[in-house]
Structure 1
Amino acid sequence: MNTAPEEIVVVGAGIIGICVAANLAEAGERVILYDRTGICEETSSGNAAALAFSDPLPLAHKGMLRKLPGWLMDPLGPLAIPPAYLPQLAPWLFRFLKAGNPKLFEAGLNAQAALMRLAESEWAGLAGRAGTAGMISSNGAIDLFESEAEFRGSLPGWDAREKLGIPFEHVAGSRLAELQPGLSPRFTHGTFQPTWKQVADPKLFGQAIWAYAEQQGARFERATIQALEPGGNGTTIRFKDGTTRLARRVVVAAGAWSHQLAAGLGDRIPLETERGYNTTLPPGAFDLKRQLTFVGHGFVVSPLTTGVRIGGAVELAGLKRPPNYARSKAMLEKARQFLPGLKTEGGREWMGYRPSLPDSLPVISPAKRPGIFYAFGHGHLGLTQAAATGRLIRDLLLAQTLPIDLQPFVANRF
């Protein structure tokens, strides 16, 4: 084992770990990033590419509780839970239902909104410094509704956004057709979010941010970490190959696997895995002007420089079950109906693991054991909130003044 402590170790090379490393390296810290595969190779590579700053509503408050029974009846619908996994999921699901309590709404909404405001400013800064601002577009996004009743069911959420000063525009008819030509006429209403942003391709964008972090002195090493063991001189890192290293400080940003390392440190964090599916079609599959969300069906269509990505939905099924690509095929078939001119040939299917906590807020906080910090559990918003998380973790490690209150994000809140 190395007896001299290593630099700050970041566990996980997804977009959260990348932004943590970039912020620390900018501050002059020696940083090494470990991941079992590579830079932005897993869940962060296949997301919808959105910087969803205008979407602060906790998942339990998005009308999901009302729709839940109907969705669960459809194994290929917006939300699926394999029956055999339900006993294991039950404690998390109980907490999720509890998070939908109206009394908790304002606290969760305000915490998420504060993190979103910070995320927007931090991404503007980091992307500018990294030279990646040209990889971000500002075309907005549209939520689409198939009836007056479905549209009216969404209004409480828009009212909450309005109170936070988030701009939006309810649209229909010619205005909706102007914002996105070629939509099926089944969509009668839409809501345009002008401040929604999109990255060109999430994998390429994350790797470009990492290239900047490397310029600042951060290093990467491919390795699988099995355990963290805090001690008087730092934290011993145990790798799968049997080797160990000593780190001064450690940041756990391993996405859906983070709670396993946290459990070994005495922190029981109820993280669950939302398995998301998508199909990426070749460039030119459809003239998509901006991201579209098919609200009643729980999936989105995203314009990337590398193609058209169709995906989303939620499968609460843990880390071990094999992928069920019938889910991505079902979304692709729906997209063909919703966008009649869509060319569905030549697509590439994918499945990733979103790390989700019951209250839809991430963990950004010190661990129970000294010298270890957590940055995980962002659910659908990892890319959106990554730059803010990197800034907050840097400030925590360097004992600097924090720009927002982190109490809603502490590890022991459960």
Structure 2
Amino acid sequence: MTEEGRRPAYTLQTPSPRERGEGEDVAIIGGGIIGICAAAFLAEAGRNVTVFDRTGICEETSSGNAAAFAFSDVLPLAHKGMIRQLPKWLADPLGPLAIPPAYLPKLLPWLIRFWRAGAAKHFEASLAAQAGMMKLAEAEWMGLLDRSGTRPMLREEGSLELYESAAEFRASLSGWRARERFGIGFRHVEGEEMAALQPGLAPRFVKGTFVPGWKTVADPKLLGQAVWAYAERLGARFEHARIERVEAGADGAAIALPDGTARKAKQLVIAAGAWSHLLARNLGERIPLETERGYNTTLPVSAFDVKRQLIFSGHGFVITPLETGLRVGGAVELGGIERPPNYARSKAMLEKAKRFLPGLDPSGGREWMGFRPSLPDSLPVIGAARAPNVFYAFGHGHLGLTQAAATGRLIRDLVIGQTPPLDLTPFRPQRF
């Protein structure tokens, strides 16, 4: 295999395990952006891949995210001051972070782990792990965009983070100093320079930080489906199926479907987002995954002329200009996967957006809620399960799109037995 990921010619002449009646070569559970990228990298390496998903390709959480390649977002969530702001945020049921009271007892063990992960003694290791992952992510995404012909979907206008007071700006400076250590470029702006970067801002914003290297995509769902089309051209297959249970042994893995049938595979990748830990439990592993329920409203493109992604960190949401609309969303609701959506949270962000961008037309929007799979130390699980022939790729929180290509590369290397380009110790499934 070449570094560019071209399939060696001999694979075109060799019958696949599927064609020989031996089951799947590699099965991937999850048709979101992580599973799609893993499929693309494995298909490039000549492996026969089948992706299983209950809805379709990029139809759930990967369809409605904020569309950012947030390669400069290296600060782990546990170190972003969330613990300090927790009491204030929780006092507002529609604020940046909400926890339904009835869910709190179930969430408490995760919150304790999150609090411990935010201790100062863990900061340097967490920062280095996240920074290394981001560097790999950017390199792998740029390569995959080129190979898949999706580079025109990339937008490179940078981002603008906005502050409503001098105190809020000062509180951000330690985080920017940490990013600077890893070569991340930015500049603080105010006055006319800030207004030029985004005309029409409310005067309440006194300072901003412009990150020129921040990237977004035209539409995350369309990008994911385009990357999948590339994987499909290389031989990857999709099967619409809800997976009930997984098993694994020395001779491979088996996945059980609701109709009582099963599919066998030599190797299995679990990339099922917020449901992944339930499948890992089938294999005897308990991974403390929780769900950040994210909300947004996508307005028509004409709602406001937003020049680049605007980040309102004090309020926990962003505004992103897409090819398909203007997306206003973010915030976190730690409420699991079973509670019905609370779209009052989408409406609250939209009301704030109207105040922040006077003249914004809030009509004609589409509300959405998705599940971000999150681990208490803000790092994903990437690595081999205790069970043989099974690999995990989940728990990316709000960075799934950003880190998907890096995860796809790492999973490919693990599956084919190649040394990964990144130390995977911080991401080990067994670290908990």
Match of 2:265 among 243, 247, 251: 247
- Which residue identity is paired with 1:345? S
Match of 1:394 among 387, 390, 412: 412
State whether residues 392 and 402 of structure 1, in contact with CA within 8 Å, keep that contact through their aligned partners in structure 2: yes
Structure 1 segment 287-298 matched on structure 2, within 5 A:
287-298=305-316
Aligned partners of 2:310 and 2:243: how far apart in 1? Answer: 38
State whether residues 291 and 337 of structure 2, in contact with CA within 8 Å, keep that contact through their aligned partners in structure 1: yes
Structure 2 residue 351 is the aligned partner of structure 1 residue 349: no
Match of 1:53 among 46, 53, 71: 71
Q: Percent identity?
A: 68
Backbone CA RMSD of aligned residues:
0.9
TM-score of the aligned structures, taking structure 1 as reference length: 0.99
In structure 2, the residue matched to 1:314 is 332
- Which residue identity is paired with 2:51? L
Structure 2 residue 283 is the aligned partner of structure 1 residue 265: yes
Structure 1 segment 227-242 matched on structure 2, within 5 A:
227-242=245-260
Aligned partners of 2:339 and 2:214: how far apart in 1? Answer: 33
Aligned partners of 2:95 and 2:254: how far apart in 1? Answer: 44
Aligned partners of 1:61 and 1:190: how far apart in 2? Answer: 21
Deviation at 1:230, TM superposition (A): 1.1
Aligned partners of 1:374 and 1:380: how far apart in 2? Answer: 18
Deviation at 1:232, TM superposition (A): 3.6
In structure 2, the residue matched to 1:380 is 398
Instruction: For residues 98-138 of structure 1, give each alpha carbon's deviation from its aligned partner in whole angstroms, at most 9, with x where no partner exists.
Output: 01101100000000000000000000000000000000010
Deviation at 1:399, TM superposition (A): 1.0
In structure 1, the residue matched to 2:428 is 410
State whether residues 63 and 154 of structure 1, in contact with CA within 8 Å, keep that contact through their aligned partners in structure 2: no
In structure 2, the residue matched to 1:364 is 382
How many residues are treated as equivalent by the alignment? 413
| Structure 1: 5+ residue stretches without partners | none
- Which residue identity is paired with 2:357? L
Structure 2 residue 339 is the aligned partner of structure 1 residue 340: no
State whether residues 142 and 191 of structure 1, in contact with CA within 8 Å, keep that contact through their aligned partners in structure 2: yes
State whether residues 249 and 389 of structure 2, in contact with CA within 8 Å, keep that contact through their aligned partners in structure 1: no
Aligned partners of 1:351 and 1:5: how far apart in 2? Answer: 36
Structure 1 segment 129-148 matched on structure 2, within 5 A:
129-148=147-166
Aligned partners of 2:321 and 2:22: how far apart in 1? Answer: 48
Aligned partners of 2:421 and 2:85: how far apart in 1? Answer: 36
Match of 1:154 among 172, 182, 186: 172
Deviation at 1:231, TM superposition (A): 2.6
Instruction: For residues 224-248 of structure 1, give each alpha carbon's deviation from its aligned partner in whole angstroms, at most 9, with x where no partner exists.
Output: 1111111342111101221112110
Moved over 4 A (4+): none
Match of 1:78 among 82, 87, 96: 96
Match of 1:170 among 188, 191, 198: 188
TM-score of the aligned structures, taking structure 2 as reference length: 0.95
Aligned partners of 2:51 and 2:260: how far apart in 1? Answer: 18
State whether residues 26 and 265 of structure 2, in contact with CA within 8 Å, keep that contact through their aligned partners in structure 1: yes
Aligned partners of 1:283 and 1:165: how far apart in 2? Answer: 34
Instruction: For residues 60-101 of structure 1, give each alpha carbon's deviation from its aligned partner in whole angstroms, at most 9, with x where no partner exists.
Output: 111212111100000000000001000000000000000110
State whether residues 5 and 246 of structure 1, in contact with CA within 8 Å, keep that contact through their aligned partners in structure 2: yes
- Which residue identity is paired with 1:270? P
In structure 1, the residue matched to 2:3 is none
In structure 2, the residue matched to 1:283 is 301
State whether residues 163 and 207 of structure 2, in contact with CA within 8 Å, keep that contact through their aligned partners in structure 1: yes
Aligned partners of 2:249 and 2:392: how far apart in 1? Answer: 18
Structure 1 segment 61-100 matched on structure 2, within 5 A:
61-100=79-118
Match of 1:43 among 61, 65, 68: 61
Aligned partners of 1:241 and 1:413: how far apart in 2? Answer: 35
Structure 2 residue 30 is the aligned partner of structure 1 residue 12: yes
